[in-house]
Structure 1
Amino acid sequence: MSENHNGSYDPHNVIPIEMTANFFFDRAVRALDRYQYDKALKYFRKAVEYEPDNPVNHCNMAGILSETGDYTASNEVLRHILEQVDPSMTECYFYMANNYANMEQYEKAEEALITYLEEDPNGQFLDEAEEMMELLQHELSRPAKPSRIKSREGMVEHERARELLEEGKFAQAVKLLEEIVSEHPDFLAARNNLALAYYYMGRFDTAKRTIGDVLEQEPGNLHGLCNLAIFYQHEGNTQMRDKLMDMLSVTVPFHMEHVFKLATTMGILGQHEIAYRHFRRLLTDEGFNGDPSLYHYTAAAASNSGRYEAAEKYWRQAAKLDPESVIPPFYLMQLQQMRKMGSDQIKVSYHYHLPFDEQLKHLELDGERLTQEARQNPLIRSSFFWALRHGDPQTKLQVIRTLELIADEEVRHALLSFLQEPGEPPELKHAARLALQQMETAASRLQERSEEREPAVRSREVLPDWLPEWKEVLVKAAENKEKGTDPYWEKELEHLWSDYLSRQYPNIPNIRNTEGWAAALAYLVAKRRGRAVTYQQAAAQYGVSPSTVSRYARQIHNVCDPEPSSDDRFHPFTEKI
């Protein structure tokens, strides 16, 4: 109500307050910040009244009841979730086991814990559950009852896949995770990681479908919901992203791993205030607060929400914990420059590495160091792959050239995936194709030097991504009836043709007369292989004129082999027409 000019209140001038679950959640969080647990519980109960089908609201209420020591009431809420709201929230059994243990009802705690181990597909509290089981064995003075740990199915392979993800070996991780998911369809942690692997490789549609499979089995899966929100943001679906973000913003996870996932997700979605609150909560946990990257994440959230003094404090702490890293000093320097210039806030990435441009400056001291760093550091590798997908055209071109120096299987797979991406400029796809060809040529030459007499192995995996006319030239040249049983014939064709295209880039001529180019290519390779062949013979085989063969052969020769050969048998131009 507002006061009118004569000092009385006007009952018609009322500002309505919309009572929603979010409204009461915000009130509850504020009460928690002031340690007013009674008020927090009151507001969480109201949130449940407004959204009775939302299991998160019930879990928040159960958590407060447990914090205040009302373990019986907390378990009643948890049991209600499992029986009436969302039976798939198997983590409630773990929370119930904790409550029973606090009440010294160890038999019931064991029963709830065994149920959790047998039913939970993700194993998100597996380590804590095993520690609690040891405590219960001690309290009960007997071994624990045998149980089948559902989340252990495929765990060894899953851990290996996680290691591959952390090392930046995304293609290998995808292969292993696909096998795990095929054998264990309800292994949701593996599905979530598979979705992330797809995402890091730029296979966004596949990543989104995989998350859909997770949420179909477990609609309340926090990792899946967080990943889906990020995917929505990537594809520009702001309506679905905001709807999902509203739900996530009122979530208060029990487990610190979930807190970390939610914090990083909120940061990526631009909800820096919420991210900052969750990261600060993580810093109070002894299992997390020794990690310098966590201080960077907290500093990033602080800086992105305008808390520059706090950001400086957290980056200084990161520098103490990680004195060899250049990352905290870089951002501290950015803060100092911003203050001197009086500029607006800097946008800080939550990734614990330098921004891409600065990273290249740091690594480009020499090519050898760049290659070594990128091969060993998965964060750097990931930033290259990310920039290949999301950078501006100049950055993407720089990345393609950089990846050509690294030249390993992951790089090859990333470039092949890039070629399949619609909407990329043709000149960038040309650069990627030729980088792949240079890598293939270099690898083949190494193999030939080490195994000179071993039959060549055909390697055409790159060819489907060439321009159709480039591929057609090579296919027609390979059909030459004079190749006989020469095992190196086709490989020599590939080497010479890819070498010519690479050297000519970006000024590759229009390849219209594919028969003429194929005849010239076959003629040159025949000469290199010591065959007695003439322009007339090559022309007859491909249905073109001898002058056409001569003209195209000279173009290839002048680009790829301008110096005369010391052996006339291999010189293609000793013959006169």
Structure 2
Amino acid sequence: MDTRHFRKSSSNGSSNVIAMNFDAAYFFERGVRFLQRNDLNKALKAFRKTVEYEPNNPINYCNLAGVYSEMGDFEASNQLLEHVLCDLDPNMTECQFYLANNYANMGKYDAAEEYVLRYLDADPNGEYADDAEEMLGVLLDEFGGGRALEKWQEEKRKLDAEQAAKDGRYFLENGQFEAAVEWLEAVIKEEPENYAAYNNLCLAYYYTGQHDKALALADDVLHRQPDNLHALCNRAILVKHFGWKDVLDAAAEPLCKVFPLHYDLAMKVGTTLGIIGYHADAFEKFRRLMRLTAQADPVLIHATAAAAANCENWAVAERYWQMLARESEYQAVAEHYLRRLQEVRANHTAQLRVSYQLDLPVEEQLAVVKDKLKDPKMEAWRRDPLLRASLYWGLRHGNHETRRRVIRALAVVADDDAEKALQLFVGRRDIDDTLRLYAIVALKRIGARGKVRLSGDAEEVAIEQINPDVIFELNPSWREVWQRAEAWLEKENLQRLVPEAKRLWLTYLYDMFLHVHRRIGKADIWVAGLLYITLRYFGVPIVQRELAEEFSVAASSIRKCSARLEQSLFTSGI
């Protein structure tokens, strides 16, 4: 440390030597005093000295950069700030904010936008977070910005997509909740510090009805990371689910205070607040996010409308749903809520509670499952996580008819997750044997493997070992048709065709199982139709009119029946 000596004369003529220690702290104090006097040149000299004395202290460089910025030398200021980030301390996130200010003053608004985004991304709750968000708003609104934000969001989406495959989010986004549980339990066993996997497993538990496990997992994450936003959101939803009103405010408080810049996380915070009943706070989050988004996403539009409606702000809700109605894919959803809005306005005592999910209400979805099953273009429906979540909800909580519809729907989806959901359903002891039988038939239709119980107390059996004619148990007339056709073939000494006829009949029944609108009417017609198509397929001469006379049915009825059987065989690849 440099020590200089100043001489001071004493009254008796002798000299006293006073040692003055000049260090970085000394010059820092001088620099601050000069700044207070607005003497920038002397302040600059003082802060340069702090750097000379402590060349590895990043704070000294930041102070010096601040003086250069005050003097209008933004280039010099930027060089110092870049030096701090690149060479001294990459974690000094405030340098990103200082750089954003400098570039804004230089008129380089794209660069300013990029650095303010870097700062908010690195430290969303930092000292300058509010100022940074205000700056970003000004850059977007007044200087035609948005390019850096769009690029940043696109890069985030790519990184998220890559990470989704690692942390199990892929399964959640595609509605494969049972598969997500299995995958994520293995992930956290191998990676106990993978908090993204913990949070996603918490959601998977929630969607599969394992609420106690979900809460325990959320609490575990928050014990280790008290500010983990995903875990805070998950726990708030679970607190609401369990009806713990006395702790709901405490669970909601940190979510009300924060506004993440990351779109998906901001959406999750806003949606969580809405789900737990903090609709005004949710509306504020969504409106704020709207201002930061170049082109509003349909999910955000609906969420904003839902929050407004739940706050009884009908005019605003109507405006956003009218905006959503312009999106052809979501027109049905928008029109549904606009109709409900009209009903509420006409009846002032009525209430409107809107889900924040961009879809029809669960009850509406389950009501149209029947029509969905008729849709030949099923792929998008299979991959719709919201509808799949509705189906699982209906499987667990719906009435008898709802569960039957859902079982058929899952047989159409026919992927690994649907198979797991059906197997778990069959294993439940609180369902009746009729529903269990429906689920077993669905598993046979899918071609599932594994073990299930045929009744509540029976031993488990392999699905592939269950006789396919178990489907006869669903409807006595199906068995009757088969038994009469079998008896006729044996009477005519055509026993060799019995297995073929049974295969054709079972193929039709398993296909019909997926189509709730199909019915088998008069048994005589179906016996005759099954015999006619079996004999014709296997080269046995037969006259349709003779069969019609024998079974006392119209020949035209046999033609229609055999045509339906034949169509089923073609679609099944037989």
TM-score by length of 1: 0.53
Matched-pair contact (CA < 8 Å) for 2:306–2:317: yes
Deviations 1:173-202 (A, max 9, x none): 334433443333222122212221222222
Cα distance in 2 for partners of 1:215, 1:226 equals 11
Cα distance in 2 for partners of 1:94, 1:383 equals 46
The residue that corresponds to 2:451 in the other structure is 461
The residue that corresponds to 1:187 in the other structure is 194
**Aligned counterparts, 1:20-419, within 5 A:** 93=91, 95-102=93-100, 156=163, 158=165, 161-253=168-260, 255-286=262-293, 289-322=295-328, 325-362=331-368, 364-365=370-371, 367-369=373-375, 372=378, 374-391=381-398, 394-419=401-426
Distance 1:154 1:328, change over 3 A: closer
3-state secondary structure, aligned to 2:467? helix
The residue that corresponds to 1:57 in the other structure is none
Which of 439, 443, 450 is equivalent to 1:440? 443
Cα distance in 1 for partners of 2:479, 2:425 equals 31
AA in 1 matched with 2:452: V
The residue that corresponds to 2:35 in the other structure is none
Contiguous gaps of at least 5 residues in structure 1: 1-68, 71-91, 118-151, 445-457, 476-489, 506-555, 573-577
Deviations 1:383-427 (A, max 9, x none): 2123333445554444334334434322222233345667x5x33
Cα distance in 2 for partners of 1:347, 1:234 equals 16
Cα distance in 2 for partners of 1:327, 1:153 equals 28
Deviations 1:430-467 (A, max 9, x none): 344223311233345xxxxxxxxxxxxx944223x732
Residue 286 of structure 1 deviates from its aligned partner by 1.9
3-state secondary structure, aligned to 1:462? strand
Cα distance in 2 for partners of 1:286, 1:251 equals 18
Residue 498 of structure 2 is aligned to residue 498 of structure 1: no
3-state secondary structure, aligned to 1:101? helix
Greater Cα shift, 340-349 or 252-261: 252-261
Matched-pair contact (CA < 8 Å) for 1:364–1:370: no
Residue 310 of structure 1 deviates from its aligned partner by 0.5
Matched-pair contact (CA < 8 Å) for 2:218–2:231: yes
The residue that corresponds to 2:486 in the other structure is 564
Cα distance in 2 for partners of 1:394, 1:273 equals 38
Greater Cα shift, 493-502 or 330-339: 493-502
Cα distance in 1 for partners of 2:206, 2:92 equals 31
Matched-pair contact (CA < 8 Å) for 2:437–2:474: yes
3-state secondary structure, aligned to 1:303? helix
3-state secondary structure, aligned to 1:364? helix
Cα distance in 1 for partners of 2:395, 2:365 equals 14
Distance 1:431 1:251, change over 3 A: farther
- Figure out how many residues of one structure are paired with residues of the other and give that number: 362
Distance 1:157 1:252, change over 3 A: closer
Matched-pair contact (CA < 8 Å) for 1:178–1:194: yes
Cα distance in 2 for partners of 1:439, 1:419 equals 11
Identity, % of aligned pairs? 31
Cα distance in 2 for partners of 1:180, 1:381 equals 23
AA in 2 matched with 1:318: L
Q: CA RMSD in A?
A: 4.4
Deviations 1:20-40 (A, max 9, x none): xxxxxxxxxxxxxxxxxxxxx
Structure whose alpha-carbon radius of gyration is higher: 2
Matched-pair contact (CA < 8 Å) for 1:363–1:370: no
Cα distance in 2 for partners of 1:256, 1:365 equals 35
Cα distance in 2 for partners of 1:298, 1:201 equals 28
Residue 205 of structure 1 deviates from its aligned partner by 2.6
Matched-pair contact (CA < 8 Å) for 2:237–2:272: yes
Residue 213 of structure 1 deviates from its aligned partner by 3.0
Matched-pair contact (CA < 8 Å) for 2:344–2:351: yes
Cα distance in 1 for partners of 2:175, 2:413 equals 13
Cα distance in 1 for partners of 2:281, 2:193 equals 31
Deviations 1:89-112 (A, max 9, x none): xxx958535334346699xx99xx
Residue 363 of structure 1 deviates from its aligned partner by 5.2
Deviations 1:224-283 (A, max 9, x none): 011011112223333333431244334444554443221100111011111111111111
Contiguous gaps of at least 5 residues in structure 2: 1-68, 71-89, 104-110, 123-158, 500-574
Greater Cα shift, 250-259 or 348-357: 250-259
Deviations 1:101-136 (A, max 9, x none): 346699xx99xx89x98xxxxxxxxxxxxxxxxxxx
Residue 337 of structure 1 deviates from its aligned partner by 2.7
Distance 1:270 1:378, change over 3 A: same
Cα distance in 2 for partners of 1:363, 1:370 equals 13
3-state secondary structure, aligned to 1:467? coil
Matched-pair contact (CA < 8 Å) for 1:415–1:432: no
Distance 1:264 1:431, change over 3 A: farther
TM-score by length of 2: 0.53
